[in-house]
Structure 1
């Protein structure tokens, strides 16, 4: 777990403790640009197992419910005043991890903000759930000569070419480890692909019905209207926010927009730094 600097550049501090969970293949510190735009929040970003600095044993199959266990461990590690509400902020797989965590231990979070959580609704009769990212991920280049080469590579092609520069630099700076005379991804391509394999049987859709705290689902242009509404309606206290000009990587391409949405959502619930 990483304590992310706030707007003043200092370590996490503030009235509102928050757990931030990342998308598949990334790590907690890509949330840095968002945290810097959240005055009054103590942002703690977790590296889910197999990502960033959190290792996994060989042959691990990445059952998604255990990402929820990672989030609960992070929540338990945050020192806060008794009665202070903890909020959760998640992107893609990180959003699903927060759903699993709150379903497993209701009341852990006072509210959740989830950008395109990786939750798959059951297919229509005769349909089959598939994740098209599995095979391309297995073929991903795992190593580079140095961080400068990796930064040039990722910054020259989609989707990372559109990332906020600070988010892209954080991905490279903290997403690689030294290996001989080169650097390699901490989240190995085969491990990331296995996360996608497990995603289609994650049961996150079932877990959504168990969430009793307020949840804002935030979507960009690539998710259809029917899917947005179906998933929002699955939550007992779900609300929907749509940004038609953002794609699935909205928090990484436009962290200022993510921060504004986060602050407005929690503030409107009386959970912001000015509450009470």
Structure 2
């Protein structure tokens, strides 16, 4: 179900799972805003949402992704992603709203930090899987993001969605995706254009999102987030990167899943949902 936000064309928001009714999930006591990573869209959270009984899940397409369109040449300030998440929280019917929590992956996780820092008290707690946040570089160092170059080389068109699905399923990293998550990405991540399909999040736009990450100031915003935060990491535990990020939050803690990759929410929805349900237990 897609929800039209009052007074705003952005973002498109999807009630998950896909067969959710117009009302809150039966017995729902928590409202969750689920924020996706760069290049994806809200519906890829479907397999996780289906495993969260009693949680009312709202998954926006951040601008430039999915159904949330932007004009050519948009520079993708990450503060705007934060605004999309605030709009999503505001768009939930007050009569249905329980405690509002944020659940995010990568760029989406970082954008939840920016949202809560911009308007403290919006979220009762945050669950952040490997947030894309970086300490400021040393003086005189101009940072670069190698993911931007990779994104610009990404194939944007296929003959049809079936060809796209076969392509992604044949090689890393998407060959490890949960089949339902991969199908959701393909089904809703492409536009029909004449005799082919084209990615909704164009490679140039994805690259710009990665480049904008370097000036997003997510790291600085962490100290202003006063709600409880769990930073969840996959197999980067040896680097200590996410332990350092968790320490930036006044009420942060670290959870580690050393056998998962950066795409854990898309590869292991059962494990991710179990982590979220444990985290939600005090709120329920």
| TM-score bin, normalised by smaller chain | over 0.9
Q: Is the 8 A contact 1:17 1:80 kept in 2?
A: no
Q: Where does residue 270 of structure 2 map in the other structure?
A: 256
Change (3 A) 1:127 1:229: farther
CA RMSD across the alignment? 1.6
CA distance in 1 between counterparts of 2:32 and 2:97 reads: 14
Q: Where does residue 143 of structure 2 map in the other structure?
A: 129
Q: 2:165 aligns with which of 151, 156, 161?
A: 151
CA distance in 2 between counterparts of 1:210 and 1:173 reads: 38
Change (3 A) 1:82 1:180: closer
CA distance in 2 between counterparts of 1:232 and 1:77 reads: 29
Change (3 A) 1:141 1:129: same
2:60 matches 1:46: yes
2:14 matches 1:2: yes
User: Normalised by the size of structure 1, how large is the TM-score?
Assistant: 0.93
CA distance in 1 between counterparts of 2:139 and 2:87 reads: 38
Q: Where does residue 184 of structure 1 map in the other structure?
A: 198
CA distance in 2 between counterparts of 1:116 and 1:181 reads: 38
2:241 matches 1:227: yes
* Structure 1 position 85, deviation (Å): 1.0
Q: Is the 8 A contact 2:105 2:130 kept in 1?
A: yes
User: Normalised by the size of structure 2, how large is the TM-score?
Assistant: 0.91
Q: Where does residue 271 of structure 1 map in the other structure?
A: 283
SS in 2 for 1:73: helix
- CA deviation vs aligned residue, 1:181-225 (integer Å, no higher than 9, x gap): 111000000000000111111100011110000000000113544
CA distance in 2 between counterparts of 1:226 and 1:126 reads: 24
Q: Where does residue 202 of structure 1 map in the other structure?
A: 216
CA distance in 2 between counterparts of 1:29 and 1:10 reads: 12
Q: 2:29 aligns with which of 15, 21, 25?
A: 15
SS in 1 for 2:167: helix
Q: Where does residue 141 of structure 1 map in the other structure?
A: 155
Q: Is the 8 A contact 1:216 1:241 kept in 2?
A: yes
Q: Is the 8 A contact 2:123 2:227 kept in 1?
A: yes
CA distance in 1 between counterparts of 2:168 and 2:180 reads: 13
**Structure 1, gaps ≥5 residues long:** none
Q: Is the 8 A contact 2:31 2:97 kept in 1?
A: no
CA distance in 2 between counterparts of 1:59 and 1:10 reads: 35
Q: Where does residue 31 of structure 1 map in the other structure?
A: 45
CA distance in 2 between counterparts of 1:20 and 1:244 reads: 23
* Structure 1 position 81, deviation (Å): 3.9
Q: Where does residue 122 of structure 2 map in the other structure?
A: 108
Which stretch shifts more, 124-133 or 168-177? 124-133
CA distance in 2 between counterparts of 1:71 and 1:150 reads: 29
* Structure 1 position 149, deviation (Å): 0.2
* Structure 1 position 226, deviation (Å): 2.7
**Structure 2, gaps ≥5 residues long:** 1-12
CA distance in 1 between counterparts of 2:217 and 2:50 reads: 33
